[in-house]
Amino acid sequence: MGSRAEPSAQHASRTSERARAEFPHAQAAKRWNSVLPMPPSDLDPRRILPIADRLHADPGYAGRGVTIAFLDSGFYAHPDLTTPRNRVLAYHDLFAPEAGPSALERGDASSWHGMMTSVVAAGNGALSDGRFRGLAWEANLVLVKVGFAHRIVHDDIRRGIEWVIAHHEQHGIRVLNISCGGDYEESYLTGSLSRAADDATRHGIVVVAAAGNAGHDPGHRVLPPASAPSVIAVGGLDDGGAGEQTWNYHSSYGLTLDGLQKPELIAPAIWLAAPILPGTPTAAQAQLLSLLDRARDEELPRLLVEHACVDPDLDAIAGREPYLVRQLAAAKLRDQKVISGHYKHVDGTSFAAPIVSSVVAQMLEANPRLSPQQCRRILMKTARGLPGIAPERQGFGVVQPRAAVAAARAAA
């Protein structure tokens, strides 16, 4: 989770204490999560484009009729997934199997990460008038909780994959997104997590996993399940939020214990619009900052009075000159990565992987007969290699949704 860099990479977080209390990143998915550091001072969050525009995706495909399963620390029934119709077909909690879908209506610290990964892939942008919708914005979802905000355990990811395999026919699961990773390296010949991931592929499920965010550390390789042979491991790309420039992102990469080069693909992993958990103090603060940003000078005093106790810093300057209020609000918009009252920008390969999963859903909408092996080959064949980025860091290159869908349609 996060933005331009992360504590395990280049910069420390500038997230407020209140946001950190709600959104703990320390161990949530370990190297797969990033926090929300300070973006460049010249970045206007409103310049961040939807992922469809940045990747020039075909707007005629939205993952219709395809079910994507997500493994993560927790989830929330976000409006981008549940309105105007609820597309969540099933929810399973490994630690409370009796919990029903109503559990998705109670957001907590563990809900953040899975809420964001699922919405990045399949949200319909209900709270942004359709602007920030995923490429698979009409796909169905199955949500599987395999951990908590502070910890996701190696064997629990395996258990989650096994549950998906056992229920894939019941829910029509064709794609499995895993934005978390195991505790240690293992050979796919003997490791239970890698073998479970390969078994999912044998059952007709396209498995996509985040490569991790430790590319600054050459000693850290891609861990399972992303290291399994049949899994599409996804690294990251920095496209500046507008698809205009490209830089390397600090994704994990390298040879696995079995000598496989990972990742296979890269996708945008920074300046990505993701939802803020509704009903939290962070959401209230983002909504206030957005109101202040749009308001006229003469409206500022009234808005600060009406929203007292939302932000102590803003409370402290209520009644001061408008330019001071605007300066503080602008700084907080940057610090909190706020795009609007409902979204902020995040980064990490945790969010690059769902983009690839959503492309796979588009491909399967175009051609439901595709096998996981065909999907993999098409994605690699149509990817665009980037000059200036080492091949071992980008695999076959940046995922190309439009070309992948066209190739899927043409495949026998």
Positions marked active-site: 72, 113, 350
263 preceded by a cis bond (ω within 30 of 0)? yes
- Dihedral angle over CA of 400, 269, 42, 51, nearest 10: 40
The secondary structure of the chain in percent helix, strand, coil, rounded to multiples of 5, reads 40, 15, 45
Residue 59 neighbours by CB distance under 10 Å:
10
- Cα(110)–Cα(213) distance, rounded to whole angstroms? 20
Q: Are strands 343-346 and 140-145 parallel, antiparallel or unpaired?
A: unpaired
Residue 82 and residue 29: Cα distance in Å, rounded? 25
- What b/e sequence results for 265-278 when a residue is b if at least 16 CB atoms lie within 10 Å of its CB, and e otherwise? bbbbbbbbbbbbbb
Q: Indicate the pairing of strand 261-262 with strand 247-248.
A: unpaired
Question: 29 is written with which tokens?
Answer: 């998915």
- Residue 236 pairs with which residues in a beta bridge? 267
Amino acid identity for residue 344 in this structure: K
Amino acid 97 reads P
CB atoms within 10 A of CB 159: 17
Number of Cβ within 10 Å of residue 77's Cβ equals: 22
Q: How far apart are CA 305 and CA 131, in angstroms?
A: 31
Tokens 């909408």 found at: 365
Cis peptide before 84 (omega within 30 of 0): yes
Please list the residues that pair with 272 across neighbouring strands. 346
Burial 82-94 (b: 16+ CB within 10 A, else e): beeeebbbbbbbb
